[in-house]
Protein backbone atom coordinates (compact mmCIF):
# COMPACT_ATOMS: atom_id res chain seq x y z
CA UNK A 1 0.00 0.00 0.00
CA UNK A 2 1.54 3.23 -1.19
CA UNK A 3 0.72 6.70 -2.42
CA UNK A 4 0.76 6.60 -6.22
CA UNK A 5 0.28 9.40 -8.76
CA UNK A 6 -1.09 8.54 -12.22
CA UNK A 7 -0.96 10.98 -15.11
CA UNK A 8 -3.04 10.44 -18.28
CA UNK A 9 -2.47 12.37 -21.51
CA UNK A 10 -5.08 13.89 -23.81
CA UNK A 11 -5.25 10.83 -26.04
CA UNK A 12 -6.00 8.58 -23.05
CA UNK A 13 -8.82 11.00 -22.10
CA UNK A 14 -10.01 11.45 -25.70
CA UNK A 15 -13.56 10.07 -25.40
CA UNK A 16 -16.02 8.93 -22.75
CA UNK A 17 -15.09 5.35 -23.68
CA UNK A 18 -11.41 6.05 -22.98
CA UNK A 19 -12.19 7.99 -19.80
CA UNK A 20 -14.13 4.94 -18.63
CA UNK A 21 -11.06 2.77 -19.26
CA UNK A 22 -8.86 5.18 -17.28
CA UNK A 23 -11.40 5.00 -14.44
CA UNK A 24 -11.34 1.18 -14.49
CA UNK A 25 -7.53 1.17 -14.39
CA UNK A 26 -7.39 3.65 -11.51
CA UNK A 27 -10.12 1.71 -9.68
CA UNK A 28 -7.97 -1.43 -9.98
CA UNK A 29 -5.04 0.36 -8.30
CA UNK A 30 -7.29 1.82 -5.64
CA UNK A 31 -8.87 -1.55 -4.85
CA UNK A 32 -5.37 -3.03 -4.52
CA UNK A 33 -5.02 -0.75 -1.49
CA UNK A 34 -3.06 2.17 -2.96
CA UNK A 35 -3.81 5.82 -2.20
CA UNK A 36 -4.41 7.28 -5.66
CA UNK A 37 -3.94 10.80 -7.02
CA UNK A 38 -4.74 11.16 -10.72
CA UNK A 39 -3.75 14.05 -13.00
CA UNK A 40 -5.51 14.07 -16.38
CA UNK A 41 -4.86 16.28 -19.40
CA UNK A 42 -7.70 17.91 -21.33
CA UNK A 43 -9.53 15.66 -23.81
CA UNK A 44 -7.41 15.57 -26.97
CA UNK A 45 -8.21 18.45 -29.31
CA UNK A 46 -9.96 20.50 -26.62
CA UNK A 47 -7.09 22.90 -25.85
CA UNK A 48 -6.59 23.53 -29.57
CA UNK A 49 -10.33 24.13 -30.01
CA UNK A 50 -10.39 26.71 -27.21
CA UNK A 51 -7.23 28.52 -28.30
CA UNK A 52 -8.56 28.49 -31.88
CA UNK A 53 -11.60 30.48 -30.73
CA UNK A 54 -9.31 32.99 -29.02
CA UNK A 55 -7.23 33.30 -32.16
CA UNK A 56 -10.33 34.08 -34.22
CA UNK A 57 -11.14 36.92 -31.82
CA UNK A 58 -7.65 38.37 -31.42
CA UNK A 59 -5.25 37.01 -34.04
CA UNK A 60 -1.55 37.45 -33.30
CA UNK A 61 -1.93 39.01 -29.88
CA UNK A 62 0.35 38.01 -26.99
CA UNK A 63 0.55 40.74 -24.34
CA UNK A 64 0.18 39.97 -20.65
CA UNK A 65 -3.52 40.88 -20.35
CA UNK A 66 -4.27 38.67 -23.34
CA UNK A 67 -2.21 35.78 -22.01
CA UNK A 68 -3.99 35.97 -18.66
CA UNK A 69 -7.29 35.40 -20.48
CA UNK A 70 -5.81 32.59 -22.61
CA UNK A 71 -4.91 30.79 -19.38
CA UNK A 72 -8.39 31.39 -17.97
CA UNK A 73 -9.74 29.88 -21.19
CA UNK A 74 -7.35 26.94 -21.66
CA UNK A 75 -7.59 25.86 -18.01
CA UNK A 76 -11.23 24.91 -18.55
CA UNK A 77 -10.19 21.90 -20.68
CA UNK A 78 -8.44 20.16 -17.78
CA UNK A 79 -11.13 21.13 -15.30
CA UNK A 80 -13.77 19.48 -17.48
CA UNK A 81 -11.78 16.28 -18.03
CA UNK A 82 -10.97 16.05 -14.30
CA UNK A 83 -14.64 16.32 -13.37
CA UNK A 84 -15.52 13.71 -16.02
CA UNK A 85 -12.90 11.32 -14.64
CA UNK A 86 -14.24 11.76 -11.10
CA UNK A 87 -17.74 11.05 -12.43
CA UNK A 88 -16.47 7.92 -14.22
CA UNK A 89 -14.69 6.74 -11.06
CA UNK A 90 -17.85 7.18 -9.01
CA UNK A 91 -19.72 5.17 -11.64
CA UNK A 92 -17.14 2.39 -11.04
CA UNK A 93 -18.10 2.45 -7.39
CA UNK A 94 -14.99 4.33 -6.25
CA UNK A 95 -15.27 7.44 -4.08
CA UNK A 96 -13.67 10.27 -6.01
CA UNK A 97 -13.36 14.06 -5.95
CA UNK A 98 -11.76 16.45 -8.46
CA UNK A 99 -9.92 19.69 -7.75
CA UNK A 100 -8.83 22.55 -9.98
CA UNK A 101 -5.29 23.85 -9.43
CA UNK A 102 -6.45 26.76 -7.28
CA UNK A 103 -8.47 24.48 -5.00
CA UNK A 104 -5.36 22.62 -3.81
CA UNK A 105 -3.19 25.71 -4.06
CA UNK A 106 -0.91 24.74 -6.92
CA UNK A 107 0.92 28.07 -6.58
CA UNK A 108 2.85 29.34 -9.59
CA UNK A 109 4.57 32.52 -10.66
CA UNK A 110 2.59 34.92 -12.89
CA UNK A 111 4.21 34.05 -16.23
CA UNK A 112 0.92 33.44 -18.02
CA UNK A 113 0.91 30.59 -20.60
CA UNK A 114 4.29 29.32 -19.26
CA UNK A 115 4.10 29.58 -15.49
CA UNK A 116 6.30 27.62 -13.09
CA UNK A 117 5.03 25.77 -10.05
CA UNK A 118 6.32 27.16 -6.74
CA UNK A 119 4.43 25.16 -4.13
CA UNK A 120 1.48 22.89 -3.51
CA UNK A 121 -0.59 22.69 -0.33
CA UNK A 122 -1.49 19.03 0.03
CA UNK A 123 -3.50 19.17 3.27
CA UNK A 124 -6.88 18.86 1.59
CA UNK A 125 -5.70 16.05 -0.68
CA UNK A 126 -4.27 14.07 2.25
CA UNK A 127 -7.56 14.41 4.09
CA UNK A 128 -9.44 12.94 1.13
CA UNK A 129 -6.93 10.11 0.68
CA UNK A 130 -7.22 9.22 4.36
CA UNK A 131 -10.99 9.13 3.88
CA UNK A 132 -10.50 6.55 1.13
CA UNK A 133 -11.16 8.80 -1.84
CA UNK A 134 -9.37 8.87 -5.17
CA UNK A 135 -8.30 12.49 -5.76
CA UNK A 136 -8.30 13.88 -9.30
CA UNK A 137 -6.27 17.09 -9.73
CA UNK A 138 -6.31 19.15 -12.92
CA UNK A 139 -3.00 19.16 -14.73
CA UNK A 140 -1.43 22.02 -16.66
CA UNK A 141 -2.64 24.80 -14.37
CA UNK A 142 -2.17 26.62 -11.12
CA UNK A 143 -2.94 29.93 -9.45
CA UNK A 144 -0.63 32.90 -8.87
CA UNK A 145 -0.23 35.00 -5.73
CA UNK A 146 -2.96 37.40 -6.90
CA UNK A 147 -5.43 34.56 -7.50
CA UNK A 148 -5.18 34.52 -11.30
CA UNK A 149 -5.37 31.17 -13.09
CA UNK A 150 -2.08 30.29 -14.81
CA UNK A 151 -1.08 27.47 -17.15
CA UNK A 152 2.28 25.76 -17.43
CA UNK A 153 2.57 25.56 -21.21
CA UNK A 154 2.13 22.61 -23.54
CA UNK A 155 2.77 19.26 -21.89
CA UNK A 156 2.42 20.95 -18.51
CA UNK A 157 0.29 18.13 -17.14
CA UNK A 158 3.44 16.01 -16.84
CA UNK A 159 4.99 18.73 -14.70
CA UNK A 160 1.83 19.01 -12.60
CA UNK A 161 1.87 15.28 -11.92
CA UNK A 162 5.54 15.29 -10.92
CA UNK A 163 5.13 18.39 -8.74
CA UNK A 164 2.18 16.81 -6.96
CA UNK A 165 4.11 13.55 -6.51
CA UNK A 166 7.04 15.54 -5.10
CA UNK A 167 4.89 17.58 -2.71
CA UNK A 168 3.15 14.44 -1.46
CA UNK A 169 6.29 12.30 -1.41
CA UNK A 170 4.55 9.74 -3.58
CA UNK A 171 6.05 6.28 -3.92
CA UNK A 172 6.01 6.60 -7.72
CA UNK A 173 4.60 8.87 -10.43
CA UNK A 174 3.29 6.89 -13.42
CA UNK A 175 2.99 8.81 -16.69
CA UNK A 176 0.55 6.92 -18.93
CA UNK A 177 1.11 7.90 -22.53
CA UNK A 178 0.80 6.65 -26.09
CA UNK A 179 4.32 5.15 -26.13
CA UNK A 180 5.24 2.23 -23.93
CA UNK A 181 8.50 3.63 -22.59
CA UNK A 182 11.85 5.17 -23.45
CA UNK A 183 13.79 3.54 -26.28
CA UNK A 184 17.47 3.36 -27.16
CA UNK A 185 16.52 5.41 -30.20
CA UNK A 186 13.43 6.11 -32.32
CA UNK A 187 12.12 2.69 -33.52
CA UNK A 188 10.91 4.34 -36.75
CA UNK A 189 14.57 4.98 -37.66
CA UNK A 190 16.11 1.84 -36.14
CA UNK A 191 13.73 -1.13 -36.01
CA UNK A 192 16.11 -2.87 -33.56
CA UNK A 193 15.65 -0.08 -31.02
CA UNK A 194 15.05 -1.56 -27.58
CA UNK A 195 12.91 -0.31 -24.70
CA UNK A 196 14.99 0.60 -21.63
CA UNK A 197 13.60 -0.79 -18.39
CA UNK A 198 15.43 1.95 -16.50
CA UNK A 199 17.09 5.17 -17.54
CA UNK A 200 18.86 7.70 -15.33
CA UNK A 201 17.35 11.10 -14.78
CA UNK A 202 20.32 12.84 -16.43
CA UNK A 203 20.08 10.66 -19.53
CA UNK A 204 16.35 11.28 -19.74
CA UNK A 205 16.98 15.00 -19.48
CA UNK A 206 19.43 14.89 -22.38
CA UNK A 207 17.15 12.70 -24.47
CA UNK A 208 14.12 14.91 -23.79
CA UNK A 209 16.05 18.05 -24.70
CA UNK A 210 17.30 16.31 -27.83
CA UNK A 211 13.83 15.74 -29.13
CA UNK A 212 12.71 12.43 -27.64
CA UNK A 213 9.33 13.90 -26.85
CA UNK A 214 8.20 11.27 -24.37
CA UNK A 215 8.05 13.72 -21.48
CA UNK A 216 8.01 17.48 -21.14
CA UNK A 217 11.59 18.44 -20.21
CA UNK A 218 10.50 20.56 -17.25
CA UNK A 219 8.75 17.58 -15.71
CA UNK A 220 12.03 15.65 -15.87
CA UNK A 221 13.93 18.55 -14.29
CA UNK A 222 11.31 18.68 -11.56
CA UNK A 223 11.53 14.94 -10.99
CA UNK A 224 15.31 15.24 -10.74
CA UNK A 225 15.20 18.12 -8.31
CA UNK A 226 12.83 16.34 -5.93
CA UNK A 227 13.94 12.77 -6.69
CA UNK A 228 10.49 11.60 -7.75
CA UNK A 229 10.60 8.07 -9.15
CA UNK A 230 8.99 8.48 -12.54
CA UNK A 231 7.69 5.73 -14.80
CA UNK A 232 6.64 6.16 -18.42
CA UNK A 233 4.22 3.47 -19.56
CA UNK A 234 1.50 2.76 -22.10
CA UNK A 235 -2.13 3.69 -21.55
CA UNK A 236 -3.10 1.28 -24.33
CA UNK A 237 -2.55 -1.97 -22.41
CA UNK A 238 -5.89 -3.48 -21.35
CA UNK A 239 -6.99 -1.89 -18.07
CA UNK A 240 -7.40 -5.29 -16.44
CA UNK A 241 -3.85 -6.63 -16.89
CA UNK A 242 -2.22 -7.88 -13.72
CA UNK A 243 -1.30 -4.94 -11.50
CA UNK A 244 2.14 -6.32 -10.60
CA UNK A 245 2.94 -6.71 -14.29
CA UNK A 246 1.69 -3.21 -15.08
CA UNK A 247 3.67 -1.74 -12.19
CA UNK A 248 6.88 -3.07 -13.75
CA UNK A 249 6.15 -2.15 -17.36
CA UNK A 250 7.42 0.86 -19.29
CA UNK A 251 10.62 2.69 -18.34
CA UNK A 252 11.55 3.80 -14.83
CA UNK A 253 13.53 7.03 -14.57
CA UNK A 254 15.86 6.66 -11.61
CA UNK A 255 18.01 8.97 -9.50
CA UNK A 256 20.24 6.65 -7.50
CA UNK A 257 23.32 5.49 -9.27
CA UNK A 258 23.83 2.49 -7.01
CA UNK A 259 20.54 1.05 -8.12
CA UNK A 260 20.49 -2.07 -10.21
CA UNK A 261 20.91 -0.14 -13.43
CA UNK A 262 21.78 -1.30 -16.90
CA UNK A 263 25.51 -1.11 -17.19
CA UNK A 264 25.75 0.11 -20.78
CA UNK A 265 28.07 3.05 -21.33
CA UNK A 266 25.73 4.54 -23.90
CA UNK A 267 22.01 4.27 -23.17
CA UNK A 268 20.55 5.81 -26.27
CA UNK A 269 20.98 7.62 -29.55
CA UNK A 270 19.01 10.85 -29.81
CA UNK A 271 18.61 13.01 -32.89
CA UNK A 272 17.08 16.29 -33.88
CA UNK A 273 16.19 17.51 -37.35
CA UNK A 274 14.74 20.84 -36.23
CA UNK A 275 17.92 22.88 -36.24
CA UNK A 276 19.75 25.03 -38.76
CA UNK A 277 23.37 26.18 -38.78
CA UNK A 278 24.48 29.78 -39.13
CA UNK A 279 28.13 30.83 -39.62
CA UNK A 280 29.55 34.34 -39.33
CA UNK A 281 32.71 34.33 -41.44
CA UNK A 282 35.87 36.40 -41.12
CA UNK A 283 35.16 37.93 -37.73
CA UNK A 284 38.04 40.01 -36.32
CA UNK A 285 39.29 37.88 -33.40
CA UNK A 286 39.01 40.15 -30.40
CA UNK A 287 37.27 39.98 -27.00
CA UNK A 288 33.49 40.27 -27.13
CA UNK A 289 32.79 38.49 -30.42
CA UNK A 290 30.53 35.86 -28.90
CA UNK A 291 28.66 38.48 -26.93
CA UNK A 292 28.29 40.80 -29.93
CA UNK A 293 26.83 38.05 -32.07
CA UNK A 294 24.81 36.00 -29.59
CA UNK A 295 23.66 38.96 -27.49
CA UNK A 296 21.75 40.30 -30.47
CA UNK A 297 20.30 36.85 -31.13
CA UNK A 298 19.21 36.39 -27.52
CA UNK A 299 17.59 39.85 -27.52
CA UNK A 300 15.42 38.63 -30.39
CA UNK A 301 14.32 35.73 -28.15
CA UNK A 302 16.02 33.09 -30.31
CA UNK A 303 17.47 30.12 -28.50
CA UNK A 304 20.93 28.97 -29.55
CA UNK A 305 22.07 25.37 -29.19
CA UNK A 306 25.51 24.21 -30.41
CA UNK A 307 28.16 26.98 -30.53
CA UNK A 308 31.59 26.66 -32.17
CA UNK A 309 34.34 29.25 -32.52
CA UNK A 310 37.10 28.17 -34.90
CA UNK A 311 40.77 28.71 -34.27
CA UNK A 312 41.86 32.15 -35.29
CA UNK A 313 43.86 32.59 -38.50
CA UNK A 314 45.40 35.91 -39.55
CA UNK A 315 43.51 37.69 -36.77
CA UNK A 316 40.16 36.53 -38.09
CA UNK A 317 37.91 33.62 -37.11
CA UNK A 318 34.64 31.91 -38.09
CA UNK A 319 31.85 31.70 -35.58
CA UNK A 320 29.06 29.09 -35.99
CA UNK A 321 25.97 28.14 -34.05
CA UNK A 322 22.66 26.35 -34.48
CA UNK A 323 19.14 27.67 -33.92
CA UNK A 324 15.68 26.19 -34.40
CA UNK A 325 14.77 26.09 -38.08
CA UNK A 326 11.75 28.31 -37.46
CA UNK A 327 14.12 31.03 -36.25
CA UNK A 328 16.63 30.61 -39.09
CA UNK A 329 15.48 33.29 -41.55
CA UNK A 330 14.78 35.81 -38.81
CA UNK A 331 18.23 35.26 -37.29
CA UNK A 332 20.11 35.55 -40.59
CA UNK A 333 18.25 38.80 -41.39
CA UNK A 334 19.00 40.15 -37.96
CA UNK A 335 22.71 39.39 -38.25
CA UNK A 336 22.94 40.88 -41.73
CA UNK A 337 21.11 44.07 -40.66
CA UNK A 338 22.55 44.74 -37.25
CA UNK A 339 25.66 42.70 -36.58
CA UNK A 340 27.51 42.36 -39.87
CA UNK A 341 27.97 46.16 -40.40
CA UNK A 342 29.38 46.87 -36.92
CA UNK A 343 31.36 43.68 -36.50
CA UNK A 344 33.43 43.93 -39.64
CA UNK A 345 32.82 40.27 -40.53
CA UNK A 346 33.03 39.22 -44.14
CA UNK A 347 29.83 37.21 -44.57
CA UNK A 348 26.94 35.28 -43.04
CA UNK A 349 26.27 31.80 -44.42
CA UNK A 350 23.80 29.19 -43.29
CA UNK A 351 22.57 25.65 -43.81
CA UNK A 352 19.13 24.31 -42.97
CA UNK A 353 19.86 20.79 -44.19
CA UNK A 354 21.66 19.59 -41.09
CA UNK A 355 20.80 17.36 -38.19
CA UNK A 356 22.18 16.72 -34.75
CA UNK A 357 22.90 13.17 -33.59
CA UNK A 358 23.88 12.46 -29.99
CA UNK A 359 25.00 9.52 -27.93
CA UNK A 360 23.74 9.75 -24.36
CA UNK A 361 24.85 7.68 -21.40
CA UNK A 362 25.57 8.18 -17.74
CA UNK A 363 28.36 5.61 -18.11
CA UNK A 364 30.30 8.08 -20.28
CA UNK A 365 31.30 9.86 -17.08
CA UNK A 366 33.61 7.04 -16.11
CA UNK A 367 34.55 5.66 -19.53
CA UNK A 368 37.15 7.26 -21.72
CA UNK A 369 37.16 6.91 -25.48
CA UNK A 370 33.43 6.88 -25.97
CA UNK A 371 33.41 10.08 -28.05
CA UNK A 372 36.33 8.94 -30.18
CA UNK A 373 34.53 5.65 -30.85
CA UNK A 374 31.57 7.71 -32.07
CA UNK A 375 33.78 9.74 -34.41
CA UNK A 376 35.42 6.53 -35.75
CA UNK A 377 32.06 4.91 -36.50
CA UNK A 378 30.86 7.97 -38.39
CA UNK A 379 34.14 8.23 -40.30
CA UNK A 380 33.89 4.54 -41.30
CA UNK A 381 30.47 5.34 -42.77
CA UNK A 382 31.98 8.30 -44.66
CA UNK A 383 29.96 10.85 -42.70
CA UNK A 384 31.58 14.27 -42.31
CA UNK A 385 31.22 15.93 -38.90
CA UNK A 386 30.47 19.67 -39.12
CA UNK A 387 30.25 20.60 -35.45
CA UNK A 388 30.87 18.81 -32.15
CA UNK A 389 29.46 19.56 -28.73
CA UNK A 390 30.04 17.57 -25.56
CA UNK A 391 28.77 17.36 -22.02
CA UNK A 392 29.50 14.95 -19.20
CA UNK A 393 26.99 12.36 -20.38
CA UNK A 394 26.45 13.30 -24.03
CA UNK A 395 28.37 13.83 -27.24
CA UNK A 396 26.55 15.53 -30.10
CA UNK A 397 27.62 16.01 -33.69
CA UNK A 398 26.08 18.12 -36.41
CA UNK A 399 26.09 16.34 -39.77
CA UNK A 400 24.44 16.58 -43.17
CA UNK A 401 20.75 15.77 -42.75
CA UNK A 402 20.82 13.08 -45.44
CA UNK A 403 23.12 10.89 -43.31
CA UNK A 404 20.89 10.97 -40.23
CA UNK A 405 19.32 7.50 -40.45
CA UNK A 406 22.65 5.95 -41.43
CA UNK A 407 24.43 7.59 -38.48
CA UNK A 408 21.74 6.58 -35.97
CA UNK A 409 21.75 2.94 -37.13
CA UNK A 410 25.51 2.65 -37.22
CA UNK A 411 25.91 4.11 -33.73
CA UNK A 412 23.04 2.03 -32.33
CA UNK A 413 24.80 -1.12 -33.50
CA UNK A 414 28.31 -0.02 -32.57
CA UNK A 415 27.31 0.65 -28.97
CA UNK A 416 25.43 -2.70 -28.74
CA UNK A 417 22.09 -1.03 -28.09
CA UNK A 418 20.32 -3.75 -30.05
CA UNK A 419 21.51 -6.32 -27.48
CA UNK A 420 19.49 -7.04 -24.34
CA UNK A 421 20.97 -5.37 -21.25
CA UNK A 422 23.32 -7.58 -19.27
Q: Which residues bind a copy of itself (CB under 8 A)?
A: 16, 19-20, 23, 50, 53-54, 56-58, 61, 65-66, 68-70, 72-73, 75-77, 79-80, 82-84, 86-88, 90-91, 95-98, 100, 102-103, 147-149
Query: 145 or 192, CB closer to a copy of itself?
Result: 145
* Shortest spacing between CB 37 and a copy of itself, in angstroms: 16
* Shortest spacing between CB 236 and a copy of itself, in angstroms: 20
* Shortest spacing between CB 34 and a copy of itself, in angstroms: 20
Bridge partners (DSSP) of residue 359 are 269, 395
Query: 97 or 339, CB closer to a copy of itself?
Result: 97
Query: 48 or 90, CB closer to a copy of itself?
Result: 90
Strands (E), 206-353: 230-234, 251-254, 268-272, 275-284, 304-309, 316-324, 347-351
Query: 91 or 298, CB closer to a copy of itself?
Result: 91
Mind giving me the DSSP string for 63-120?
A: SHHHHHHHHHHHHHHHHHHHHHHHHHHHHTT--EEEE-GGGGTEEE-S-TTS--EEEE
* Shortest spacing between CB 189 and a copy of itself, in angstroms: 39
Closest C-alpha among 287, 257, 191 to residue 393 = 257
Query: 84 or 204, CB closer to a copy of itself?
Result: 84
Closest C-alpha among 78, 88, 80, 79 to residue 134 = 88
- Contact between 322 and 276 under an 8 Å Cβ cutoff? The reply is yes
CA dist 112 and 149 (Å) reads 8
CA dist 5 and 172 (Å) reads 6
Query: 60 or 191, CB closer to a copy of itself?
Result: 60
* Shortest spacing between CB 52 and a copy of itself, in angstroms: 9
CA dist 309 and 44 (Å) reads 44
CA dist 361 and 367 (Å) reads 10
CA dist 340 and 89 (Å) reads 62
* Shortest spacing between CB 245 and a copy of itself, in angstroms: 27
Q: Provide the edge-to-edge strand list for the sheet that holds 275-284.
A: 304-309, 316-324, 275-284, 347-351
Residue 186 sits at φ, ψ, to 5 deg, of -70, 115
Instruction: Tell me the CB-side half-sphere exposure of residue 53, using CA atoms within 13 A.
Output: 9
* Shortest spacing between CB 73 and a copy of itself, in angstroms: 4
Query: 76 or 197, CB closer to a copy of itself?
Result: 76
* Shortest spacing between CB 389 and a copy of itself, in angstroms: 42
* Shortest spacing between CB 110 and a copy of itself, in angstroms: 13
Query: 160 or 216, CB closer to a copy of itself?
Result: 160
CA dist 199 and 222 (Å) reads 16
Report helix, strand or coil for 271.
Answer: strand
- 269 vs 59, 92, 257, 414, CA distance in Å? 40, 43, 21, 11
Query: 72 or 304, CB closer to a copy of itself?
Result: 72
Query: 78 or 202, CB closer to a copy of itself?
Result: 78
Amino acid sequence: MALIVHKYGGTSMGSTERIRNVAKRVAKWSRAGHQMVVVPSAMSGETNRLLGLAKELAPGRSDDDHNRELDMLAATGEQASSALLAIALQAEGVQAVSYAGWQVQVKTDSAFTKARIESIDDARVRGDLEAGKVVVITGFQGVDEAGNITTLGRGGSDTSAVAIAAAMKAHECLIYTDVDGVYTTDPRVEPDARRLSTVSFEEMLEMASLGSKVLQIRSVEFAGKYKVPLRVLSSFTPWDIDLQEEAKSGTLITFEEDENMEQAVVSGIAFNRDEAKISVLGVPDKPGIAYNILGAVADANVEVDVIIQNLSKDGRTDFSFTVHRNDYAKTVDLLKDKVLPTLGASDIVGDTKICKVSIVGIGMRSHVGVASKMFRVLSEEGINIQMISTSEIKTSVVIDEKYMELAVRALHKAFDLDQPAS
